[in-house]
Amino acid sequence: MSTADAPVAQSGSAKLGLRRKVKAYVALTKPRVIELLLVSTLPTMIYAERGFPSFGLILATMVGGAFAAGSAGAFNCYIDRDIDRLMRRTVNRPLVTGEVTPREALAFAWILGIASLAILWFGANPLSSVLGAAAIFFYVVIYSLVLKRRTAQNIVWGGAAGCFPVLIAWAAVTNTVEWPAIILFMVIFLWTPPHYWPLSMRYGDDYRNANVPMLGAIAGAKIVAVQVVLYAWAMVICSLLLIPLGRAGWVYTVAAVASGIWFLYVSHALYTRTQREEIEDKKAMKVFHGSISYLTVLFLALAVDPFVGAPLVG
C-alpha cells in the first residue's frame, strides 16, 4: 500500500453504519453524471424506435448504461484519489474521507463494469455491450490515465466517453449504429467543452493545486471564452443536421433552434464580459448550468418528436 493511501485506509477501517456505507458506494458512481447521461439514453431509444421500445429493453439499457457509467466513475475515483484530496470540490469523496478503501472501490468498479456488460449483452444485444465496454475504457484509460494530467485538451477527447450512451441506446433498439446516432454523439462531444470549461474556471485554484491542466484553470478567461463560443456554434450547427439526415420533425427543429439561439447568447455574453475583463465565477457558471438546460431541452424534444407530425425532410 502506498503512503498516499495510508491515511485513507486508516480512517476507512472505522466501522460505518450500513446506510452510510451504501451512500459512500453510491457516491463513487458519481450519480449526477449518471443522471445527465441517462437524460440522453431514453429519448434516443424512443427516437430510434419511432415510439416506445419494450419495457424490458428500456430497463436493461438504462440499468446497464447506469452501471457502466457508475463503473467508470468508481474507477476514476480510485485513480484520482491522490488529487481529489487536494481539491475543495472533491475533498469529500469516499476515498478521501476513508468511508471506502481503495481496495473496496476497485472491486466495486470491476463488479459494476462486469454487471453492466452482462446486462447489456443479454438484455439488449452484444453490440450495445461492446459499446458499453468502449465507453468504460475510454473514460478510465484514455481520459483518467492518459489525458487528464497531461494535456489541456483532456476534456475534449476524454469527454467522448460521455457521448457513448446515445450509441448504446441506438444500438440497443436497432442493433446497428446509424447517422442519427452519430450526429447525437457529435452534439454531446461538442457540448462537453462549453459545459465543463466554465466549471474549471470556477474551480481553477483546485486544478492548479492538483497540477491538472484543465484549460479553464491554466488559460486566461478570454481564451476560454473564445473556445466556448466556437464549440457552442459547432454544437448548434451539428444539432440541426438531424433534420435532413435524421428525419427530425418540427418539435425537435423548434427546440433545437430556440435552445441553440439561447445558448449561443449565453456563450457570447460570457465572451463579451471577458473582453471587458468583467468576468466573475458566477457568470462562467451560468454557461455551465445553461449547457445542462440546453441538453435537457434538446433530448426532451427528441423524445416527443416521433409522436408529433412527420419528418420535415423526407
pLDDT tens by residue, 70-79: 999 999 999 9
Question: Is residue 306 pLDDT above 80, yes or no?
Answer: yes
* 163 and 39 co-located in one domain: yes
* 231 and 268 co-located in one domain: yes
* 149 and 72 co-located in one domain: yes
Question: Is residue 6 pLDDT above 60, yes or no?
Answer: no
* 28 and 170 co-located in one domain: yes
Count of C-beta atoms within a 10 Å radius of residue 114: 12
* 190 and 102 co-located in one domain: no
pLDDT at 7: 47
pLDDT at 281: 57
Q: Per-residue confidence at 94, pLDDT binned at 50, 70, 90?
A: very high
pLDDT at 221: 80
Cell of 215: 484549460
Mean pLDDT of the chain: 89
* 212 and 154 co-located in one domain: no
Question: Is residue 174 pLDDT above 50, yes or no?
Answer: yes
Last residue of a domain, one of 175, 202, 234: 175
Last residue of a domain, one of 175, 209, 236: 175
Is 160 inside a domain boundary?
yes
CA distances from 33 to 143, 237, 262, 273, 276 (A): 15, 25, 23, 29, 33
* 130 and 142 co-located in one domain: yes
Residue 202 sits in a domain of what CATH number? 1.20.120
Domain span at residue 55? 19-175
* Residues 46, 53: Cα–Cα separation, whole Å: 7
Residue 119 contacts residue 62 (beta carbons within 8 Å): no
Is 276 inside a domain boundary?
yes
Last residue of a domain, one of 151, 175, 199: 175
* Residues 287, 216: Cα–Cα separation, whole Å: 13
Is 190 inside a domain boundary?
yes
* 252 and 166 co-located in one domain: no
pLDDT at 37: 86
CA 84, 89, 92, 95: dihedral to nearest 10 degrees? -20
* 244 and 150 co-located in one domain: no
Number of domains in the chain: 2
Give the pLDDT confidence of 103-112 residue by residue, as tens digits.
999 999 999 9
Give Dmax (Cα) for the chain: 64
Place of cell 493511501: 5
Is 2 inside a domain boundary?
no
pLDDT mean over 211-220: 82
* 151 and 188 co-located in one domain: no
Residue 48 contacts residue 180 (beta carbons within 8 Å): yes
Place of cell 475583463: 277
Cβ-proximal residues to 96 (8 Å cutoff; 6+ apart), any chain: 8, 81, 84, 85, 90
pLDDT at 278: 59
* 243 and 113 co-located in one domain: no
